[in-house]
Structures are given as C-alpha cells and as structure tokens.
C-alpha cells in the first residue's frame, strides 16, 4: 500500500467522449505525476504538477490536461477520446524535486477502455 488512491478503477467510454480521472496523493507529498501505460509497455510520462502548477509535460497533445488542488489531489482530463487512449493511467506522488531520492509512489491505476 503506497497511500496513493485512484478512481475509478475501470472505465469504459466511446470515441469522442471526455473523461476525468482522479488521484489522491500520499500524505506529505505535494508533487503528482501522471503516466499512461499501454499493454506490454512501460509507463509514459504525461505531466507533473507541483503546488497546483504544471511542472513539466511529456509528448502528449493538449487534449490531455490536468489540475492539482490545494490538498495536492489531482485530476487528469482527456477530451475527444481516441481508440489509442485505451490504457492504464497511473498517478504517482512524490516529495518535491531536489529531495533526496525523490521516489515516486504509484497508485493502482485506472483502466480506461475506449470503444
């Protein structure tokens, strides 16, 4: 148990719809990162939030957006869903960059299926 919780655990959407995924970070962690993991692949970095600001972004289009709230919880929003968006979406929380080791602790993920 990492203390990082994600909801929902599973979700089915159709192409063109919008989806919001949620994450509660581990107590004391103010940095949240989101990753997309396709089947049989390693997680790919989407973006990171620190103190409610985006703090780095991977190679994902603008229809992937996020928010971080004052309690450090976070949302990932995906608009205009495409079939290729079907994946496991992982949230990871950590102490701020520069902290020793800065280990990222992952939630169990949300499995998104786009039909």
Partner 1 sequence: GQNIDQPTEMTATEGAIVQINCTYQTSGFNGLFWYQQHAGEAPTFLSYNVLDGLEEKGRFSSFLSRSKGYSYLLLKELQMKDSASYLCAKPGAGSYQLTFGKGTKLSVIP
Which residues are near partner 1 by CB under 8 A? Answer: 2, 4, 31, 33, 35, 40-45, 48, 55-56, 58, 90, 92, 94, 97, 101-109, 111
Q: Which is nearer to partner 1, 24 or 31 (CB)?
A: 31
CA–CA dist 81, 16 (Å, integer): 5
Least distance from C-beta 49 to partner 1, angstroms? 11
Question: Least distance to partner 1 from the beta carbon of 16, Å?
Answer: 27
What does the DSSP assignment read for 41-106? S--EEEEEEETTEEEEE-S--TTEEEEE-TTS-EEEEE-S--GGG-EEEEEEEESPTTSSS---EE
> Smallest gap, in angstroms, from Cβ of residue 78 to partner 1?
19
Of the two residues 2 and 65, which places its CB atom closer to partner 1 in the complex? 2
Task: Kindly state the smallest distance separating residue 107's Cβ from partner 1, in Å.
Answer: 6
């Amino acid at each position: 148990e990492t203390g990082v919780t994600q909801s929902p655990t599973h979700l089915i959407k159709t192409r063109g719809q919008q989806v919001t995924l949620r994450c509660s970070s581990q107590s004391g962690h103010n940095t949240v990162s989101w990753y997309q993991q396709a089947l049989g692949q390693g997680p790919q970095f989407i973006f990171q939030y620190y103190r409610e600001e985006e703090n780095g972004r991977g190679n994902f289009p603008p229809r992937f957006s996020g928010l971080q709230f004052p309690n450090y919880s976070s949302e990932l929003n995906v608009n205009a869903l495409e079939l290729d968006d079907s994946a496991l979406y992982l949230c990871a929380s950590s102490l701020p960059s520069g902290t020793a080791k800065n280990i990222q602790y992952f939630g169990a993920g949300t499995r998104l299926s786009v039909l």
